[in-house]
Structure formats: C-alpha cells, structure tokens
C-alpha cells in the first residue's frame, strides 16, 4: 500500500513540472505588459520602467526567468504578487477556504441528488422517470453556467426575494474569520441569524456550481448501474430474498460506484473551473475570482502560483479517488 502510494506520488512529478512550464509560458504569451498595466492611465517614465524591468527580472532570458521561478517553487516560494506585494502563498490560503466551502457544498449537492437519481433511473429503465431525468440531465449538462446563474438570480432573488444576490454573508454580521469557512465561523460567532444568513448566501452559488456535476453523476450512475444490474451476483442477491432496496442500493450500487467515483474525481477539476464563473457572478471572494482578476492585471506570480496550487489540489483528489477504488472493490487492490 505504502509502495503504491509512493509510486503514485512519483508520477506526480512530471505533471507538476508540466504545470509550471505551461502556466509560466501561457501567461507570458498573453499580450500586455504587467508594468504598463500596473502603471495604469498615469503611465510610467522610461527610467522607472527600466528600473521595474530589472526589479522583476524581465531583462533576463526566458529560460533564466523560468529556472529562477522553479528554484523558488521547489523551496516553497511562489513569489509575491506584483500588485499587492503579498506572498502568493498567503493570498491563496486566505481565499481558498471560500472556494473550498462552495465547492464542497456543490459536490455534496451533486452527489446527494445525482446518485439516487441515477439509481432510480436505472432500476426504472425506459419508464417515464428515467426518460424525464435523462433529458433533464442533458439540459443541465449543456447549460451555460453564467446564463443559469443569472436566471436563478432573476427568479429567486429578484422576483421571489428568497435569496441574496451576492456575497457570503449579510453585512449586518461581523466576526473574525478564524477558519475562513463562513458556515463554521458564523456558528462559532454565536450571533443569532448569522449561520442562517451564511446558508442563504450559499444556496444559489451551490446550485449553479453543482448543476453540471449533478448531471454528469446522474448519467454516469445510471449507465454503471444498468451494467451491474445484469450481473450474475445481482440474481444471487435476489435469490436470497433480499428487498429491491438492498439489492439495488447495496449489492449493485457498490459495484457501480467505481466509474461514478471516477467522474466525481474528474468533476473536481470542472468544479474549480466553474468556480471562476460562479464566483465572479456571485461576487464570491474565492480563488476563482482572484485568478480572473490576476489574469487581467497580468500578475504573473499569482497566475502561475494559483494554477500550480489548483493543479496540486486536483492531483491530490485524483490520488484519493485511486485509493478509493481499492476500498470500494477489493478485487482492484490485487495487482
């Protein structure tokens, strides 16, 4: 087990370097000079410009800049933001809890609805529920996130007034962000109504961000279940006199989980990409919004560091998924 873990961690290395190269070169391929962007409309004098070029090391050849950057990364130094002058590392971890909170809620939403929906659809294959669910899932999967978000805001916030339009909590409440997770902090603050307000603010972003994973999980669960339901061991389970709920929900679902867990793992990447749009629309102060802002500012260290950290998160999730396979189906553990 430990050896397997180590060998998997080794395969991380090429991916890790790949991400550093891609993030380093792509942001530099974008037109726009960070110094000019930073100076804004006031402009900058030629001498000051030269000074800044030297300060940021843009006078060095590209490979030299990359080696310097990589050297820093290996020592755990992701550099400082051009704009705020704060270390990328600190900025990331100040904002990451907001994104994590939203992503976890979206994932719970997607799994809690998608898994049972897929199972029920598979068991009732070809019937009305199955057809309705699968066509709805297709719509959900194909829908542009920003349009869906705006639609929900118009209906639930605008017309019905049920949910707030943006932000993480009502301005009435103020407390220290000890953990960065609003649901936890609001509970710990002990202020009445704070937690409810935090939940209210989470509802729409969660639905918006969770819609695509929900559709993917429901469809994947259904097709995996259909395959498993025709297996011999399902007949054995029924021959024992087990109730359909136990046959489908325990004997079949456990076997169907492997492909479902795979798409859940892959959805985490989609989720972080979706978070960029969702956070922008709902003014959610997470890393998605932070990354978008940094790209517009040509804040090289932030974009590079942020991408790298997100990539590492996705890699960790995928490793967890691989380890889960063996836990779900012990036959896979045997290599």
Residue ranges binding other proteins (CB under 8 A)? 231-233, 235-244, 251, 254-255, 328-331, 334
Helix axes of 182-189 and 88-123: crossing angle, nearest 10 degrees: 100
- Tell me whether residue 3 or residue 334 sits nearer to other proteins (CB atom): 334
Residue 121 or 295 having the CB closest to other proteins: 121
Three-class SS state of 198: helix
DSSP 246: H
**175 contact partners, CB below 8 Å, separation of at least 6:** 185, 186, 188, 189, 191, 194
CB of 321 to other proteins, least distance (A): 17
Can you tell me which residue has the tokens 């030269």? 50
The least CB distance from residue 23 to other proteins, in Å, is: 40
* Cβ atoms of 69 and 79 closer than 8 Å: yes
Closest to other proteins by CB, 176 vs 232, is: 232
Contacts of 188 (CB under 8 A, 6+ apart): 175, 178, 179
CB closer to other proteins out of 86 and 240: 240
DSSP conformation class of 242: -
Nearer to other proteins (CB atom), residue 159 or residue 239: 239
Least Å from the CB of residue 15 to other proteins: 30
Q: Count CB neighbours of 300 within 10 A.
A: 23
Q: What share of the chain is helix, strand, coil (3-state, %, to 5)?
A: 80, 0, 20
Minimum distance from residue 246 beta carbon to other proteins (Å): 8
Least separation, in Å, of the C-beta of 233 and other proteins? Answer: 4
Distance CA 242, CA 252 (A): 12
Please, what's the b/e burial string for 147-167 (b: 16 or more CB within 10 A of its CB; e: otherwise)? ebbeebbeebeeeeeebbeee
**Residue 329 CB, nearest approach to other proteins (Å):** 5
The residue among 48 and 131 lying less far from other proteins, judged by its C-beta, is 131
Rounded to a whole number of angstroms, the minimum distance from the CB of residue 243 to other proteins is 7
Q: Minimal distance in Å, beta carbon 123 to other proteins?
A: 11
Report residue 156 CA to chain centroid gap.
24
Nearer to other proteins, 43 or 241 (CB): 241
Nearer to other proteins, 143 or 324 (CB): 324
Check if the beta carbon of residue 178 is closer than 8 Å to that of residue 189.
no
């Amino acid at each position: 087990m430990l050896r397997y873990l180590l060998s998997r961690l080794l395969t991380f290395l090429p991916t890790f370097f790949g991400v550093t190269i891609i993030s380093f070169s792509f942001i530099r391929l974008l037109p726009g000079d960070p110094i000019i962007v930073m100076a804004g409309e006031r402009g900058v004098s030629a001498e000051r410009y030269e000074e800044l070029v030297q300060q940021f090391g843009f006078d060095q050849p590209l490979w030299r800049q990359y080696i310097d950057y990589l050297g820093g990364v290996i020592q755990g130094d992701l550099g400082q933001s051009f704009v705020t002058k704060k270390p990328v590392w600190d900025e990331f971890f100040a904002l990451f809890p907001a994104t994590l909170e939203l992503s976890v809620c979206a994932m719970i939403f997607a799994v809690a609805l998608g898994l049972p929906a897929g199972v029920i659809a598979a068991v009732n294959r070809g019937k009305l529920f199955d057809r309705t669910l699968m066509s709805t899932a297709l719509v959900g999967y194909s829908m542009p996130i920003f349009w869906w978000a705006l639609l929900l805001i118009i209906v639930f916030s605008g017309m019905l007034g049920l949910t707030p339009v943006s932000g993480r909590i009502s301005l009435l409440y103020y407390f220290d962000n000890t953990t960065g997770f609003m649901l936890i902090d609001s509970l710990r603050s002990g202020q009445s109504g704070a937690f409810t307000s935090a939940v209210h603010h989470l509802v729409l972003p969660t639905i918006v961000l969770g819609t695509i994973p929900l559709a993917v999980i429901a469809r994947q669960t259904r097709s995996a279940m259909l395959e498993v339901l025709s297996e011999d061991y399902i007949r054995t389970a029924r021959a024992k006199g087990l109730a359909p709920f136990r046959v489908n929900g325990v004997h079949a679902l456990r076997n169907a989980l492997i492909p479902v867990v795979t798409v859940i793992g892959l959805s985490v990447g989609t989720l972080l990409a979706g978070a960029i749009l969702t956070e922008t629309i709902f003014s959610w102060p997470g890393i998605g919004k932070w990354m978008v802002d940094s790209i517009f500012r040509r804040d090289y260290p932030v974009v590079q560091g942020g991408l790298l950290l997100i990539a590492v998160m996705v890699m960790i999730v995928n490793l967890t998924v691989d380890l889960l396979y063996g836990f779900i189906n012990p036959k896979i553990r045997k290599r």
